[in-house]
Structures are given as structure tokens and as C-alpha cells.
Structure 1
Amino acid sequence: TDAQLNNASAYFDLGPRQVPSSGIYHYFSTRNNAFSNRDQKARMIVQPFDFIYRLIDQNADEIRLNNAILSFPANSLSTSTVIKLSHLTREQISEILTKNGQNIVAKESLYDSGYIIEPYDLNFVQYIKFQIPVEQIDHSENVNILQFEPTGGIYTSLANSQTKNYLNFQTNRGGVYVFVKPKSNLAWIAAVVIPIVLVIIIILSTIAFFYKNPRQYRKLKTRCTKTQRSFKMRI
């Protein structure tokens, strides 16, 4: 037997393996991880969403992920920085907001697409441009864009414009970017119309009641007259 693999080949191909779920997976070499003089260990982080790392320096550059484009003009950073861009679903974005105590935006009002620029607290010297494919927002022409920094817990609403294929906006900060569906006008209309309708129904019902019961109307009128006289006498 060769327990220490002294006669083993220097190369071993395990072949591709499918990771069953997201998480942190640790691995090491049983041959080279000799604690006395060397250490060969590593870990693999599997995240349940698409992301990309890119080193951005003072030159103009861009990051592309799932057809979205993040454009950096020249000198947008004071020093070279590794930028991580992630693309998340509605469910994943909602979990991030909930973990950070942010319940301002309901999950149902989010489009099924959101992005994260890391580091969260990164401030760009110049504004960078974000282009989101319109199919990720269901080709809607009315979208609210909110920028959220988990460490600060503050939302910022961003102005945006649309071309044929992209939703365009600019930002000068890292953080979470969510796309919110516009509020329906039906709720506001209902809040105004329903009370008015109820008042009209009450008035019409009162008129109909006294029309069918004139004696009750005369009694009410008499009571009102007596009450009015009583107030005048007290004054």
C-alpha cells in the first residue's frame, strides 16, 4: 500500500461534480496538506445567483451580466477596485431587504430582477451608467428604481429613462438596486369614490325614509326647532 501517495501521479482529475446546493465547501489535499511544513487547503463559495467580479481601474471599462451593462467612465474610481455585480430574483432581493429590517417595499411590488453592486459602501468619483434589458421589467414604461445600502438602511429614488431595449439610469454608489412596479391608481380612486358613494346613499335613504314617513319628519323638525330655541334662551 501507498498510504502517503508517494508513488501517485502528480495529476489527478476528479472530473466535474454538481454542487447540490449553495454554501461554502472546504477541500484540501491529503498529500500536500502536511501540517509541519506546508498547507494546501481551499474553500469554494457557491451562491444561488449569477455574479461576476472585475477589477476596475482608472480606464473606461464595463461589466456585462445577463445582458445588463454597467459602464464605468474613465477615472470613475480613485484607485483600482474589484467590483462584484450580482443579479438576483424577486425572492432573493426580498430576503435581503427583510434581513436588513427593510419592509418599505412589498415583495409583490418588485419586478423579478434586481442587482447588487459591491462593495456596498463604495462611492464613485463619477457617475456610472446602468443599462437593464427591458424584458427584465416586463417591458414596462413606468418603473421606479430604488437604491438601497444595507449598512445604512436608506432608500434613494433614481431618475431613469428608456430606449427601445434598455432601462437606463446612473448612480455614484454601490448597493442594492430594485425595480418597483408603479402603484395602481385603482386604490386611490376607490379610496375617494367609495366614501362619496356611501354619503350619497345615506342622504338618499334619509330622504326616501322621510318621504314615506312624513309624520317622522314633522317630529324631527319640531325637535330641531325646540333645540334651537333652547340654545337661544341659554345664550
Structure 2
Amino acid sequence: SHTFSIKKRPQDLKDAVIHNLNVRGKRGNIVQVYPAVEYDFVPNLLNIATGDYIHFQWNGSNTNNKKFEGNGKAGTDRNNVVMLAESNFSEMSINVPYKPLLFGHYGTNYPTKITNSSFLGLSEDDITKLAHLGNKNGNDPLLNKAGTYFDLGPRKITKQGKYHYMCTRNNDFSNRDQKGKIVVSDFPVVYKMVGLQGGTIAIKSKAALYIPPNTLGELLSLQMTSWRTDEGNYWLKEKGKKLPIVEGFASDFILLLPVENFAAENTVHLSINLTDSDSDIISVYRTGEKKYGVWQRIVTEIENGVAHSHIKQGGVYIAVKEKSLDTITNVIIIVIMFIIALIAVLVYFYYKKSHPWLYTKNA
């Protein structure tokens, strides 16, 4: 059996976004550990925003089956985090404004030197602790002297990039490795598990999704991301797509995952904070396509600077300012008048050329 304790959130981090990064799995190969799994980081892909915190912590034991496969002292499991080494070969570089810098190559199985590491912008002391688990001498490559529990504490992440890392102990360089990826960007990302009891997932001052109780038939992992309009517009242009004819954006782009239906019959409530409500008509559009090609207009109510919509699916949502009917009507009238005038001029010159005597003055 196992016991665990739950610590109170530090008072100075009361309003901070903290992401736990843990370890799951057992010592052994995939057959020996079944129905569990081999060692893995949880989550092994973590998307966070600059200014968020990561809390590295995990637990191990000394009572695993000593006959099971593994590295280090038999019967024990230990984990650490070290950034992967860079690639030994050059790859094609594409200059993309919003593409994060890469740190460590996911295809390698070797760690980078701690002294050369720029992992998450952490201090050298923290990087050393993650690698050696508190052993200051560093003369313990298999981590046999380390304790079963490790807790780095919450650390604020301020350096953007895509970071690839590994555990140096649970690595056979062939059929077994333990790797992870952390993506740090300047737009916020939140995760939440919501089930039968319902719940809310929100990005402060950006958007919120409220799911009433008894809406979902099963536990659902939700993700909400906010893109600035310049970022969203950039990706639209990259795909060669654009929104329907609009005057401008009225909110940030809001990405909701998963894209498929949340529930077959019920709807959930999406509210998007408007960044610009100075327009007669504000509408919300959605696309579920990866190429952002087809946009659907969503029924929306505007109240106190917030756009409210009832939806059934994830996808990309954006509030836009649309031209009023009066403006559209005036444009149509001007175009029609221009066409009529053009036709009149063409007819005049046609008759003048084909019937010159009608336009000749008497001598």
C-alpha cells in the first residue's frame, strides 16, 4: 500500500498557474509491468505560458521485483531530468516569426552537459538538482544514492522555447527510454478534467467555458489556448486562408480541444471577452479544420463587453466586427450606380461611332 500527503499552496503563489510534472510507471519491461506501463513523464508533453510555474516532483520505491529489467540497483526506481543534447547533423531551418526556439533534439538519446544547459531558463543550481537529485558530488551516474522522493518546488518559467529532456537512468539507448517535451510560449494554455459533475475552464480576462452538470457522459480532458490576433492572423495567412469579410477582430483567437462534440444533445456555454466592442455588429465564428478553411457563424449575444455563445464542439473561435447592413447597402448602391454610369458612357460612344450623322452640326 502507499500513502501520500497534500501540501497547501504557498501563500505567495496563491494566484499563480502551477503545472505538476511527475513520473508514472514501474520498473521492468512492458511485459513485466503489465497492466501498468514502463517509466514515463506525466505529462510527457506540457504546453505552458511564460510566467507559469512548473513543479517537478515524483516518488519512487525500493521494493520493486528484483528480477525485473531495469537500470541501477535491482528492485529500485529513480528518475531525473536532463535536457537532451543537440543534433549531430544540421536540419533545414525555416524562419517563422512565432515558431519557438528548439532546445535539445528529441531524436538523440544523450544528455547535454549541465554547464551548457539552458533548460527552461532555470538556475544552474536547479538544473544540477534535477540531474543529480541533490547529490552535490555528482558521482552517482545511476542515482543509487538518491532518495525515493524528489521535490524541486514550484519554479517560475520565463524563457520561451521547445525543450526536449530525458531521464539518464531509465535509458537503454535502444528499446527503452524516458523522454519528455515542454513547450513554453507567450500565450496562455490551461488544462482541466471535467466529468459528470460539470465545471469551468477559463483563461483570465480572455475566455471561459462553462459545462453544466450532467452534460458530459464521461471524463473529458479539455485544453484552452489564447492566441493574440497578430499570431492568429499570421497562421491564417500561412495556410492561405482568411475569415469572412469583416471590419476587424474583436477578441483574441480561442482554441478549444478536443475539436469533436463535447456532448451529442447538450450544449456548453462559451464566453469570450471582447478587446474591441466599438461596432454595430459583433459575431463569433468557429472553425474545426486544421487548415482554417471553413468558418461557421455562431449565434451570439453581446453583454457588457462579453460575447456569449452556446456550443457543442471545440475548435478555434474568434469574435469579429462585421459591417452593418446600412454600410453594405450603401456599398451595393454605389457599385450599381457606377455600373449604370459605365454602361451609359459605353452606349454613348458606341452610338456616336456607328451613327456619326446624328452628332454632326448643320452647316
State the TM-score, normalizing by the size of structure 1.
0.68
Pairing partner for 2:172 from 35, 47, 68 = 35
Which of 1 and 2 has greater Rg? 1
The structure-2 alpha-carbon separation of the partners of 1:180 and 1:12, relative to structure 1 and needing over 3 Å to count, comes to: closer
What amino acid does structure 2 have at the position aligned with 1:114? F
1:119 to 254, 258, 283: 258
Partner of residue 147 from structure 1, selected from 281, 286, 289: 286
Q: For the Cα contact (< 8 Å) 2:209–2:270, is it kept in 1?
A: yes
Residue of structure 2 equivalent to 1:228: none
2:304 corresponds in structure 1 to: 164
**2:160 counterpart of 1:21:** yes
Q: State the Cα distance separating 1:48 from its structure 2 match.
A: 3.6
Q: Which residue of 1 aligns with 2:140?
A: 4
Per mean C-alpha deviation after superposition, the further-off stretch among 76-85 and 183-192 is 183-192
Other-structure match for 1:82? 221
- Contact 1:33 / 1:41 at 8 angstroms: preserved in 2? no
Displacement of 1:9 after TM fit?
6.0
Q: What amino acid maps onto 1:55 in structure 2?
A: M
> What residue in structure 2 maps to residue 63 of structure 1?
201
Q: Deviations over 1:10-47 (max 9, x none)?
A: 56859957554332x122344x3453998554321224
SS in 2 for 1:93: helix
State which drifts further: 173-182 or 147-156: 147-156
Alpha-carbon separation, structure 2, partners of 1:118 and 1:167: 19
Deviations 1:177-231 (A, max 9, x none): 011211265575355336637839x88xx9xxxxxxxxxxx942679xxxxxxxx
SS at match of 2:334: helix
Q: Is the 8 A contact 2:215 2:263 kept in 1?
A: yes
Aligned residue for 1:154, secondary structure, equals: coil
1:157 Cα deviation (Å)? 0.8
SS at match of 2:263: strand
Q: Which runs of 5+ in 1 are unaligned?
A: 207-217, 224-235
109, 120, 127: which one aligns with 2:248: 109
**Count of residue pairs brought into register by the alignment:** 206
- Paired residue for 2:314? 174
SS for the counterpart of 2:341 is: helix
Look up the match of 2:35.
none
Q: Secondary structure at the match of 2:250?
A: strand
CA distance, structure 2, for counterparts of residue 15 and residue 221 of structure 1: 91
- After TM superposition, give the deviation of residue 159 of structure 1 in Å: 1.2
* Structure 1 partner of 2:84: none
1:196 to 337, 348, 351: 337
Which is further off, 57-66 or 145-154?
145-154
Query: How far did 1:130 drift?
Result: 1.1
Residue 322 of structure 2 aligns to a residue whose secondary structure is coil
User: Per residue, is there more helix in 1 or in 2?
Assistant: 1
- For 1:130 and 1:87, the matched residues in 2 are separated by 14
Letter in 1 for 2:190: I
> 1:99, CA displacement in angstroms?
4.7
Alpha-carbon displacement from aligned partner over 1:82-137 (angstroms, at most 9, x marks no partner): 01011111122224434555334479733351111101123423111112224x23
Deviation of 1:74 (Å):
1.8
Q: Tell me if structure 1 keeps the 8 A contact 2:284–2:307.
A: no
**Which structure 2 residue ranges, 5 or more long, are not aligned?**
1-136, 349-355
Supply the distance in 1 between the matched residues of 2:258 and 2:155 (Cα, whole angstroms). Answer: 31
Contact kept? 1:141, 1:162, Cα under 8 Å: no
RMSD: 3.9
1:53 Cα deviation (Å)? 0.6
Task: Pick closer, same or farther for the CA change 1:170–1:220 going to 2, 3 Å.
Answer: same
Distance 2:335 2:320 in 1: 27
Residues 46 and 164 (structure 1 numbering): CA distance in 2 closer, same or farther, change over 3 Å?
same
Output the TM-score relative to the length of structure 2: 0.47
The change in CA–CA distance for 1:92 and 1:76 in structure 2 (over 3 A counts) is farther
